[in-house]
Each structure stands twice: as structure tokens, then as C-alpha cells.
Amino acid sequence: MEKLIILIFTLIINLFSAQTNRFIYEMEMKLLDKPMKMNMVLDIDKDYTKFYDYDFLKNDSISKKTGENWQTNTQSDQLILRRTNSNENRAFHDNMFDYFIIDSKDEMKWKIEKETKKNAEYSLQKATTDFGGRKWTAWFCSAIPFHEGPYKFRGLPGLIFELHDDKGDYNYTLSKSINLPETFVTTNFLETHYGNQPVKVNLKQFQKVKLDYYSDPVAEMRNNLKTGGTVIIGGEKIKSQEQLDQKRKFIQESIKNYYNPIELDKAIPYPKN
């Protein structure tokens, strides 16, 4: 109980300081009916809340130590920036050599249930909501004075510790918390993609970009092959347009098979056949 009081007191102080409160979540998402696990980061300071892949932190740390520019792309496609205690989200999407922003306002209507449970020394309470074409269940802790959580989920009277959808496609579990002495700067990999400035688009424009790529993901290789250039895909040397068409079909199927968007109502309408 004493440890919990100290933690709460520390968090309250941090709300009014230049510090960053960092929460690490283990996220499990289902692809091809198989679970894929990765760690995600929720950074909260007095001005902004950010959510991004933990791999960005690892590469940022290596870059600072070595002076080299270590880069990575998101595996989650859940890069979020918003003002703390705001429902206005800025989602970042990397796409090959491009970087896009889609702004949205996502106010969730939570139903707070009577059901509670214990998580170590913390008391959690259940809440449910519909968002993005999915039904979600959250377990939050009112003793931790943040109205934030993973991805775009926020607005509960306490930090979200656990979150999952009813299809079993997404599951988030809080695993660790860290208090940083200064506001952590993410400009290199979130607000920009390693210096690549983001382009603001709407949902339809972004969907068109993704569909255009899907229609012929080997377009540049096709032109290279026509002009006598060397084309190698997955270690295999492509010698004919027929081979390239087979690779095109394989890539297209892979794009669809490994696509399980968190917001189903904003899904890219890839062809079913």
C-alpha cells in the first residue's frame, strides 16, 4: 500500500513537470490466425500523449550511442500523437518512401461496469465501448491519474491497464512503467520519419495510395526488367515477365493475408478475389 501511495504521488507531481511518464504495453495481434507479439510505448507528458512501436526506442538509443542513423518502420501501424486529455488524434503511416498524417476526432462512449479485479496491488475496473467496428473491453485503474491508454483509447477515469477486442484480434497488457526526468523527444521517428516530413491526407486519399500500390507492387521492377536491368526478389533472380507476374500475385496475397486493421470501419478495401 505504501508503494502504491508513493507511485501515485510521483505521477501527480509529473503531471505538472517537464517529465515524461512512460508505460510499456505488450500487444498481441492476430495475423493469419496466429498471434504476433510486440511491445508498444505510451508516453504521457503535460502537453502530449504518444503511442508507438518499442523498436523505435531501441533504434533511437543505438543512434544516440553510436552517432549513426539507425532506422526502422512500424510493424503495428499504430503511430499516434494527440494533446494530452484530447480526443483529436494524429495518426502517422509510413508507406515505402512516403510518410502520411491522417487527423481524426475519436471520442469514445464508455460504459463503466461494476465488475472489478485485482492486478498485483492495483484494483482494476471494467469498462466497455464500441470503436472502429469492434467491441472493446478495458480494465482501468482509477488510482493512476491519467485518462489515457493504448492507441486512441482514452477517456476513462484512470489509466488503462488491459484492453482487448471481442474478436480476439488485439490484446494490450501494461507490463512496465518508467518516469523520465525530461520530456522525451520523438521528432526524429514520430513527427517525422527520420527527417522525411509527413504529408497530410484524408482517409480516402490514403486508401487510394495503398490500393494503387496493391494493383501492381512490382511496377518499378517491371520497368527495370523491360530495360534489361536485373531484378531479384527474395533472393530469386527474375528473368521474365511471367515470373514477375507470379511474384506480383504472391505479394498481393501476402498484403491481404497480413492485413488485420484495428479500425475495421476504416479498412483499405482490397479486392476479395
pTM for this predicted structure: 0.90
Q: What is the pLDDT of residues 6-27, one digit of tens each?
A: 454 455 545 545 599 999 999 9
- In this prediction, what percent of the chain has a pLDDT beyond 90? 74
Residue 67's contacts (CB-CB under 8 Å, 6 or more residues apart) are none
All structural domains of the chain: 2-199 (2.50.20), 202-266 (no CATH)
> How confident is the model at residue 10, as a pLDDT?
54
DSSP string, 17-77: SS-EEEEEEEEEEEETTEEEEEEEEEEE-SSEEEEEEHHHHHHHHHHHHHSS------SS-
Contact between residue 123 and residue 143 where contact means Cβ atoms under 8 Å apart: yes
> How confident is the model at residue 220, as a pLDDT?
79
Amino acid at site 85: N
Q: What is the pLDDT of residues 193-223, one digit of tens each?
A: 998 999 999 999 999 999 999 998 888 788 7
Confidence check: pLDDT of 269 > 90: yes
CA–CA separation, 50 vs 28, rounded Å? 19
Chain centroid offset of residue 8 CA: 27
> How confident is the model at residue 26, as a pLDDT?
98
152-165 as b/e: b if 16+ CB within 10 A: bbbbbebbbbbbbb
